[in-house]
Structure 1
Amino acid sequence: MTASKPRALLALNWKMNKTPSEAGAWAKSLQEEMPPTDVELAILAPAVALPLVAAELYGSGAAFGAQDVSAHASGAYTGEISAAMLADVGATYVIVGHSERREYHGETDEVVAAKARAALTAGLRPIVCVGERLPEREAGRHVTYTLDQLRASLTGVSFTDPTTLVIAYEPVWAIGTGRTATSADAEEMAAAIRGVLAELYPDAAGSVRVLYGGSVKPDNVREIMDGPNVNGALVGGASLQLGSVLGMLAALA
């Protein structure tokens, strides 16, 4: 369904790891060691680390962003961080609807859609996460489940530039377990996701990037991204080690 693949994106989800000083040191090392690459790299760090990450990444060509955002623009929402705040420190991306947010914080598809809309309004690029758990996969309902989740998570979401929206397919059963979907599994779901994007955004579906997330490593990233509809990866554990990130960039060179 795509004439040519959009630019590949490696989105590094550090989760609740690295203090600000550790994050700054990691970003400085990346600045020093990052090779020329056609792959877009985005570091998704804890919010308190973003200013230091921004300072150390300046001029590297790497982007950065946050792991969550409030659905509200401002106001009496103690502890929340608005999209405008993230944009003000130079963030480009923000994850919304990660499976851990859905499971541990009770985020519904409605909340995810509201966060995606808030991000786009502030000029951020939301990475909207969808994916099935093991029961849906074993029951053969993984495609239907994930596409229903996708449609609901994109309610009211619109854009003028399709590159500002990213979808991440994360099979929950493969996150942090060492289990990885095959490249065929990743392409099957990515193609199905792109089919829904074609329904919702018929003129833009080919330019929206679809990522795979779930135990991505240097030795499997190239195979996972071989499919025509897989445009990158949302990387968890392997993103914490600079050597692993450089290994993924080398694998994709």
Structure 2
Amino acid sequence: MRHSIVAGNWKMHKNAQETTDFLNELIEKLPSDKEVEIIVAPSFTNLLIAAKHLEHTNIGVAAQNMHQAEGGAFTGEISADMLTSIGTHIVLLGHSERRQYFKETDSILAAKADTALKHNMRIIFCVGEELKDRQNKQYQNVVYYQLKDALFHLPKAAWENIVIAYEPVWAIGTGETATAEQAQEMHKFIREQIEYQYDRDTAESVSILYGGSVKPENAREIFSKPDVDGGLIGGAALHPDDFIAIINAV
């Protein structure tokens, strides 16, 4: 069901000791009365450390990626079975950095989504436009086709395990942030597309997160919008105090 989520994508940061230190501080300082789901996404090498460290807490652990195949000759890749076997049942898919640097297409992401769901994993699926798309007034078309080509083949029941993260590519790691109004416009648009494809109940049950230079200073305004259900946080998620401040903004 739709609820508030704050997820921290650590990208290629933090070694094993830094992971342990961060999680200890997070556990110690987290407010106990917040009704928000908290997720961290460490690197592959630290997933097992995080999963074991957090198994008796309410903090979830997500992988930053996974391969669509069940196994085989894919050097350097990680399968869904490998992830679930160490207690990782959430995966990020479709992040703009995977699309840009590793040439992941919507058809690849559709296959990854199928595999993740087959293994009863939850998906945080990222969509978002580049600066040229926004300047050309094509940003809604870009996001629509990212949804359509990667996710709209799925049955309605699959959406119980899907979270959408809207990340305007021009605002990731740039210091630029979509205004709260721009975020709301796109989140509302995404929810409408899910409703058109499925139904209103499905659309209203999907949590849609905003990502793109969210900081303690702007989180409360962004999260106050009716279709923004939390955030997928990058840089600010690397610092416990900042991450907790963002959690408290929900």
TM-score scaled by length of structure 2: 0.95
**CA displacement at 1:227 relative to structure 2:** 1.7
Q: 2:213 corresponds to which residue? A: 215
TM-score scaled by length of structure 1: 0.94
Q: 2:2 corresponds to which residue? A: 6
1:164-213 residue CA offsets vs partner (Å, 9 max, x unmatched): 10111110000000000011101110111111111222141211111111
Q: One-letter code of the match for 1:185?
A: Q
SS in 1 for 2:216: coil
CA contact (8 A) 1:12 1:239 kept: yes
**CA displacement at 1:163 relative to structure 2:** 3.5
SS in 2 for 1:223: helix
Matching of residue 74 in structure 1 with residue 71 in structure 2: yes
1:191-247 residue CA offsets vs partner (Å, 9 max, x unmatched): 111111112221412111111110011111121122211111110000000010111
CA contact (8 A) 2:117 2:158 kept: no
Distance 2:45 2:215 in 1: 26
Matching of residue 20 in structure 1 with residue 16 in structure 2: yes
SS in 1 for 2:25: helix
The runs of 5 or more residues in structure 1 that have no matched partner are none
**CA displacement at 1:161 relative to structure 2:** 5.8
Q: 1:30 corresponds to which residue? A: 26
Number of aligned pairs?
248
Q: One-letter code of the match for 1:129?
A: C
Distance 1:229 1:148 in 2: 20
Distance 2:156 2:194 in 1: 13
Distance 1:163 1:231 in 2: 15
CA contact (8 A) 1:24 1:49 kept: no
Q: CA RMSD of the aligned region, Å?
A: 1.4
Q: Point out the structure with the larger helix share.
A: 2
SS in 1 for 2:226: coil
Q: 2:148 corresponds to which residue? A: 151
**CA displacement at 1:151 relative to structure 2:** 0.9
Distance 1:118 1:161 in 2: 12
Q: 1:45 corresponds to which residue? A: 42
Q: 2:105 corresponds to which residue? A: 108
